[in-house]
Amino acid sequence: MRLKDKVSLITGAASGMGRATAILFAREGSKVAAVDVDETGGQKTVDLIHEMGADAFFVKADVSREADARNMVEQTVARYGRLDVLFNNAGVAQGVELTEMTEQEWDRVVDIDLKGVFLGSKYGIREMLKTGGGVIVSTASISGLFAQNYLPAYNAAKAGVINLTRNIAIEYGPRNIRANAICPGAIDTPMLQSAVSNNPENEPVVKYFHHMAPLHRIGKPEDIAKAALFLASDDSSFITGHALVVDGGLTAGTFMDPNRIRAMAEDILKK
C-alpha cells in the first residue's frame, strides 16, 4: 500500500501504460482520477478499478486544452479534496519525414505531448502547494534522449518533457514537490500496435527492438506502471529531476551483433 490515502490523477488512462498505472496505483491504496479523451476506454479503466474494490472516477479531457487541464484538476480536488500525484502520461506520435510533416501534424504532437505536461503541471502544482507538496511523474521517451527517424515532432516534444521536468524539480523542490520523467523504450501498447497494423512496414522495426534490447523482449505497460509507482511513492523520496530509462537495455550501448552487421553491410553494398 505504497500510495495509501493518496489521490492520483493519471492522463492517458484509457489504455496501455495509463490504464496499467491507474490500476496499480489503485491497488496500492490511491484514489484515482482517470483522465482521457476516450470516454469508453477511460470508463472501462474505472470499472476495472471498481471491481477491485478501489475508488476511481473518469474525467474526459483533452490535455492540450487549458480549460480541460484546469477542469480535470478541479474535478479531482472537488471529489477527493486534494491532489498528491500527477502522472502526465497522455501522448501521441506521428511518423513522417520532417519535410513532409504539416504544421497541423507538428502542432498536434507537440500540443499533446509537451504542452499537455505543461498545462497539467501548471494546475496540478497549484493544488499541491496548498497541501504541502506532491509528486509529478511525466512520460517522456528514449526518443527524447536519442533521435529516431521519421519522428521529428515526437523527438522534440519528449526532449522538452525531460527538461521541463528538470525545471519543475529545481523550481518546486524547495516547496516539497518532486518531479521525474520516465523514458520508455518499445512498449506493447495500442499506439505501437496501431503503428504496425496501419503500416506493415513498421513490423520489422518492432522485431528490431525485440532483438536488439539485451532483455530480448518488448516492454509491457505494467513495466512502466511499476516505474511510475516507484517514482510516485516515498521509495524515491530523494529522487527528483531524473529521467528514468525503462527500455530493456536498448539504449545501454552499441550492440555489435556480427550477423546483423554483416547483413546490413551486404544490403549497403547491394545499393
CB-CB contact of 55 with 90 (8 Å): no
Told to judge if 123 belongs to the known catalytic residues of this protein, a careful annotator would answer no
- Separation CA 224–CA 230 (nearest Å): 10
Residue 191: exposure state from Cβ atoms within 10 A (0-12, 13-18, ≥19)? middle
- Separation CA 93–CA 143 (nearest Å): 11
Instruction: Indicate the SS3 state at residue 54.
Output: coil
CA 196, 197, 203, 206 torsion: positive or negative? Answer: positive
- Separation CA 94–CA 153 (nearest Å): 8
- Separation CA 73–CA 189 (nearest Å): 26
Q: What is the CA radius of gyration of the chain?
A: 19
Q: Considering the candidates 80, 123, 150, 154, report the single residue annotated as catalytic.
A: 154
- Separation CA 14–CA 37 (nearest Å): 8
Helix 103-110 to helix 152-172 angle, to the nearest 10 degrees?
30
Indicate which residues carry an active-site annotation. Answer: 154
